[in-house]
Structure 1
């Protein structure tokens, strides 16, 4: 058998590469199959590692400005063809801030701009930027500041960091923006379609998970509206209602407005670079998975993209996930053959996360023994 392993990460527990390793270990307890590991990501954590592993390249460490203005150790990737791959979470991610310190009035995307600048200095002119897992709600203002954009208040002074500062902007000065971005292509990997503002906007939908109180959500939303108006006045274009503008606290908006970026579902980008279609055509079985699978998986998450592509070629697809949630069986319609949870007895989420690797190994072994009951062509 030739088995393609294409899982997403089990967030907070295992990277997609580690999940591949566990799946392979379970399979090889039963059969000496040909294994094709392709770690998958959809724009969030693990995107750099997944793309570098799939397409070849290197991961480069860098110290940049963190979400609260401190220095953090981050990283970015450069693929063999010179494409830079950046995860905004590496410099501005929610996981970098202890829960009691989360405050989207203050958090900044400045580090994202610094990573872009470092890649520009290495000669990169094509960028893939994954924007999942953000701690920010600044509309991408910090990212733009790091690339030379100046946001000035009524007295001509530059504003500070965070979504709480955006209402002070009276003028945007683009004269010092890094001109190399005009010779560059920016593709943004995102799996959300929220507009910048309003009930479905960045602040209302994602602000609370970043530490925003109801009062802060109102302030942040009004500030983003003001920011969008000034941007429109400066650029002549309104990006605020484009699907995905609200991704990552409005970083999607900022990347479109200042870098002329194009937004695209993250799983489509990863599948294209990893040449996943060719690999699926040539395999006998596809195994994918994620930390938790439910009806929302169908909306642009990695296992759904894998299943749709496999269905095109009539390949069976197994989803092995940490948990199976509400209405997960809806995914049968898009090409999934069978679902399994790694949990083998009553246990807490914390225990399942701690034991995820061994649980994946054991369950994958069970699945393969079941498959081998039936004669193979």
Structure 2
């Protein structure tokens, strides 16, 4: 008789924002799993990302490369040391926009949703082009900005002009004043490069599911700001459609253009950029499908498991790539879906790491410990159902 196959436990989480990286979360999950299965199982850590924070590190690990430094600017224009990466052959650059315009870098100031802009992201892109990048992978999650990518394209040499022919104010505040676009000064290398923009949501540019309405509040936008940003992005789309000859609906209806305050919009229009699901980009680089083959249990998770988790984020990637019938357990800071909604999504179960009354700061400080303990509880339940482990 053949010996029973050893269980393979895969930990494939996203980062827990503000708490632990995806790699740290994966290690914690496997620590909990090992406390149940011991040496009777095989273990695989597979830290993932969805186009937001952590994507640069995930891709660099997959490529076996180190990051490169660049002096850029944060969303309010203040100098900031940022990073980007290059593939082993030097042809492909990976840029994580949040290295420049991420929310954490401006947490020391009151949020300025109308003034934050993406020029610092353009500075990183120029450095990547200087470094020889011919394919640019731009990952745009976690932004503090809602300028439709105007700052990014301005840094690359485009001009967005008002009725007097002057450059408009930076950020979403200047969008409504744009009357024309002068692309003559765009960096020739940026035009020649292939651009893929990784998005972590499928929201459209405008409307009730658009950039302003859904993501504006987390960037400090109140009701008036949301209305102004939404109108400004719609106006920018109209100007770009008129400039390029594209159909307006190509910009207003395309899934994912609402990500990161519409950052991809100007690049799609002026550079021919392609938008892709960030999780799919990472999955391709890491070889997620092959890694998941043969898994007996997959542990995944993120800071908050809710309906957005199922729209292109890491949990969505995992449920699509895991072989049918393999248990999937989500471990998250908070769980906002019901048990029925979780099962309907193809996830076996979801557990919050909160082990009792605690403040957010307390949970953050103990995140890895809580992830490991929650994983141990989940694995104990799964182990009881595996052949030969009915009563450990």
Alignment of 1:149-188 (within 5 A): 149-188=158-197
Question: Per the alignment, in what secondary structure is the counterpart of residue 288 of structure 1?
Answer: strand
Alignment of 1:1-377 (within 5 A): 1-30=7-36, 31-32=38-39, 33-81=41-89, 82-98=91-107, 100-237=109-246, 238=248, 239-312=251-324, 314-373=325-384, 374-376=386-388
CA distance in structure 2 between the partners assigned to 1:282 and 1:60 by the alignment: 36
Offset at residue 371 of structure 1 (A): 4.2
- Say if 1:65 and 1:72, in contact at 8 Å, map to a contact too: yes
CA distance in structure 1 between the partners assigned to 2:339 and 2:122 by the alignment: 38
CA distance in structure 2 between the partners assigned to 1:200 and 1:365 by the alignment: 37
Question: Per the alignment, in what secondary structure is the counterpart of residue 189 of structure 1?
Answer: strand
CA distance in structure 2 between the partners assigned to 1:26 and 1:46 by the alignment: 23
The Cα offsets for residues 167-199 of structure 1, whole Å up to 9 and x where unpaired, read as 232321111101112332222221323332333
- Say if 1:295 and 1:330, in contact at 8 Å, map to a contact too: no
The Cα offsets for residues 78-125 of structure 1, whole Å up to 9 and x where unpaired, read as 233542212211111122212752112211101111111111111111
| 1:167–1:334 Cα change, 3 Å | closer
Offset at residue 356 of structure 1 (A): 0.7
TM score, norm. by length of structure 2? 0.89
| 1:339–1:116 Cα change, 3 Å | same
| Structure 2 portions without partners, runs of 5+ | 1-6
Which range moves more in the overlay, 186-195 or 144-153? 186-195
What is the alpha-carbon root mean square deviation over aligned residues? 2.1
CA distance in structure 1 between the partners assigned to 2:258 and 2:356 by the alignment: 39
| 1:328–1:102 Cα change, 3 Å | farther
Question: Per the alignment, in what secondary structure is the counterpart of residue 82 of structure 2?
Answer: strand
| 1:58–1:228 Cα change, 3 Å | same
The Cα offsets for residues 120-140 of structure 1, whole Å up to 9 and x where unpaired, read as 111111222221111111110
2:3 corresponds to which residue? none
Offset at residue 48 of structure 1 (A): 0.7
Offset at residue 225 of structure 1 (A): 2.7
CA distance in structure 2 between the partners assigned to 1:115 and 1:229 by the alignment: 28
Which range moves more in the overlay, 34-43 or 207-216? 207-216
Which range moves more in the overlay, 364-373 or 40-49? 364-373
- Say if 2:202 and 2:311, in contact at 8 Å, map to a contact too: no
TM score, norm. by length of structure 1? 0.92
| Structure 1 portions without partners, runs of 5+ | none
Offset at residue 370 of structure 1 (A): 4.4
- Say if 2:342 and 2:349, in contact at 8 Å, map to a contact too: no
The Cα offsets for residues 3-42 of structure 1, whole Å up to 9 and x where unpaired, read as 2211011111111011012123223334134322111111
CA distance in structure 1 between the partners assigned to 2:130 and 2:343 by the alignment: 46
CA distance in structure 1 between the partners assigned to 2:314 and 2:124 by the alignment: 25
CA distance in structure 2 between the partners assigned to 1:2 and 1:311 by the alignment: 13
Offset at residue 214 of structure 1 (A): 2.0
Offset at residue 67 of structure 1 (A): 0.4
Count of aligned residue pairs for this structure pair: 376
Question: Per the alignment, in what secondary structure is the counterpart of residue 61 of structure 1?
Answer: strand
CA distance in structure 2 between the partners assigned to 1:266 and 1:3 by the alignment: 24
CA distance in structure 2 between the partners assigned to 1:264 and 1:279 by the alignment: 21
